[in-house]
Homo-oligomer: A and B are copies of this chain.
Amino acid sequence: MLAVSTQPDVISFAGGLPAPELFPVDDLRAAFDAVLSTDGPGALQYGPTEGYAPLRAYLTNRLAHRGIMTKPEDILITSGSQQGLDLLSKVLLHARPSVLVEAPSYVGALQAFASHESRYLAVPMDDQGMCVESATQMLNHVMSTSEDRPALLYTIATFQNPSGVTISRERRLALLEFCAAQQIPLVEDDPYGELRYEGEEVPPLRALPGGEETIYLGTFSKILAPGLRLGWIVAPQSVIARLVISKQAADLHTDSLVQRAVLHYCMHTDIEEHLSHLRAVYRSRRDAMLSALADYFPSEVKWTRPDGGFFIWVTFPEGTDTRALFAEALAQRVAFVPGTAFFMDHLGSNCLRLNFSHVEPARIVEGMQRLAKVVTAHSSKT
């Protein structure tokens, strides 16, 4: 089905891809050229597992602008955030029976944790994000059966994948308090945090009072180019030390040339201007999709209204099966991801995820018209 959804006449809201026309190709070409011209042997040789020191120093600075105070030694460069999740699962999940995740959550994180056979405690969300009260109840239940406490709590706190929801400041503080009280490491995955299209900035958990010991995952994938596979983890020194050992066994180190080229790009380009451009383009795509939902979709359908990121989460009346809808949509050359993909327990069958970052506004309107027809026909059948 995924193969069908990438055919050129299909308008796909299924993937989670950035818009390739926004990649700063020429600036990156200049960066690779400059690095290979001036530092070729270094850029092509083995490098330290921790990452290229000047890049770690740069990230320290850049994170300070987002309120995250850290040191270069507390940053590990990774081959994308996905590797960060994999390394964390190796280091933290070992012999622990469960992880707390948002329901729904990012499939790739669930996969990384799954390889260690951990059970998911999938915490419900509302429009403020993960429900801390539910997490408390679930934890009490688990602990009453004398199980070990969960290995970690995983959250995409800002513009979540797949829901688009951002955890409110109050809820963040409650979450930090919960994790501190229960001694559960909190892992914040923040791929979309810099892609805000409206509303007021909410600081990363790592930047809030009580957040100093949390683990923070960042990436260049959504703000620069995912094909380069470049991300980082900020964590307490004791965790970083174990992650470095794990990373050494996993791939020795992240590409030396790519680390240097991306740093060169960041130092020689106005990255804030680049981000402004991304935000403007993605904002118009989000707006096109939200308008189309309001204009064309039946009133019993509900959806989130994300302030940033890549995704909108759509909820149909109970009893709707979005996997059946998916087949009908593909026949009309439009695609999305059925909601069950983001749960481990077959929930979400009446939900679906829409991606708006990868499709131009006119195609978004066309695709949403197609999808609305399918939805209307489907609901009249049931």
The listed residue (B26, B33, B227) touching A255 by CB distance below 8 A is B227
Which residues in B have their C-beta under 8 angstroms from that of A255? 79, 227-229, 255, 258
A7: Cβ under 8 A from any B Cβ: no
Given contacts A249-B111, A252-B80, A255-B227, A29 and B20 within 8 Å (CB-CB): no
The listed residue (B25, B111, B248) touching A248 by CB distance below 8 A is B111
Contact: B17 with A251, CB < 8 Å? no
Question: How far does the Cβ of A328 sit from chain B's closest Cβ, in whole Å?
Answer: 27
Contact: B46 with A226, CB < 8 Å? yes
- Provide the bound-state CA to CA distance between A168 and B43, in Å: 37
Number of copies of this kind of chain in the complex: 2
Interface residue stretch chosen among A82-90, A118-126, A135-143: A82-90
A16 (CB) vs chain B CBs: closest residue: B46
Which residues in B have their C-beta under 8 angstroms from that of A108? 248-249, 252
- Provide the bound-state CA to CA distance between A22 and B253, in Å: 21
- Provide the bound-state CA to CA distance between A162 and B200, in Å: 58
The listed residue (B20, B33, B90, B256) touching A45 by CB distance below 8 A is B20
A297: Cβ under 8 A from any B Cβ: no
With A25-B40, A80-B251 given, can you name 17 additional A-B contacts, CB distance below 8 Å?
A: A21-B41, A23-B45, A28-B36, A32-B32, A32-B33, A42-B227, A43-B227, A44-B226, A45-B225, A86-B249, A108-B252, A228-B255, A229-B251, A229-B253, A229-B254, A255-B258, A258-B258
A182: Cβ under 8 A from any B Cβ: no
A114: Cβ under 8 A from any B Cβ: yes
Question: How far does the Cβ of A24 sit from chain B's closest Cβ, in whole Å?
Answer: 9
- Provide the bound-state CA to CA distance between A249 and B43, in Å: 27
Give residues 236-276 of A contacting B (CB, 8 Å).
246, 248-258
Report the interface size for chain A: residues with CB under 8 A from the other chain: 52
- Provide the bound-state CA to CA distance between A114 and B18, in Å: 37
A47: Cβ under 8 A from any B Cβ: yes
Question: How far does the Cβ of A341 sit from chain B's closest Cβ, in whole Å?
Answer: 14
Q: Which residues of A contact B (CB under 8 A)?
A: 15, 17-18, 20-21, 23, 25-26, 28-29, 32-33, 36-37, 40-47, 79-80, 82-83, 85-86, 90, 108, 111-112, 114-115, 221, 225-229, 246, 248-258
Question: How far does the Cβ of A138 sit from chain B's closest Cβ, in whole Å?
Answer: 24
The listed residue (B21, B29, B251) touching A37 by CB distance below 8 A is B29
Which of A46, A83, A108: most chain B Cβ within 10 A? Answer: A46
Which residues in B have their C-beta under 8 angstroms from that of A46? 15, 17, 221, 226-227
Which residues in B have their C-beta under 8 angstroms from that of A18? 45
Which residues in B have their C-beta under 8 angstroms from that of A251? 79-80, 82-83, 86, 229, 251
A111 (CB) vs chain B CBs: closest residue: B249
A46 (CB) vs chain B CBs: closest residue: B226
Question: How far does the Cβ of A132 sit from chain B's closest Cβ, in whole Å?
Answer: 28
Question: How far does the Cβ of A216 sit from chain B's closest Cβ, in whole Å?
Answer: 19
- Provide the bound-state CA to CA distance between A169 and B112, in Å: 41
A231 (CB) vs chain B CBs: closest residue: B251
- Provide the bound-state CA to CA distance between A83 and B251, in Å: 5
Contact: A25 with B17, CB < 8 Å? no
- Provide the bound-state CA to CA distance between A261 and B280, in Å: 32
A22 (CB) vs chain B CBs: closest residue: B41
Given contacts A44-B227, A79-B79, A29 and B36 within 8 Å (CB-CB): yes
A15 (CB) vs chain B CBs: closest residue: B46
- Provide the bound-state CA to CA distance between A242 and B15, in Å: 23
Contact: A114 with B249, CB < 8 Å? yes
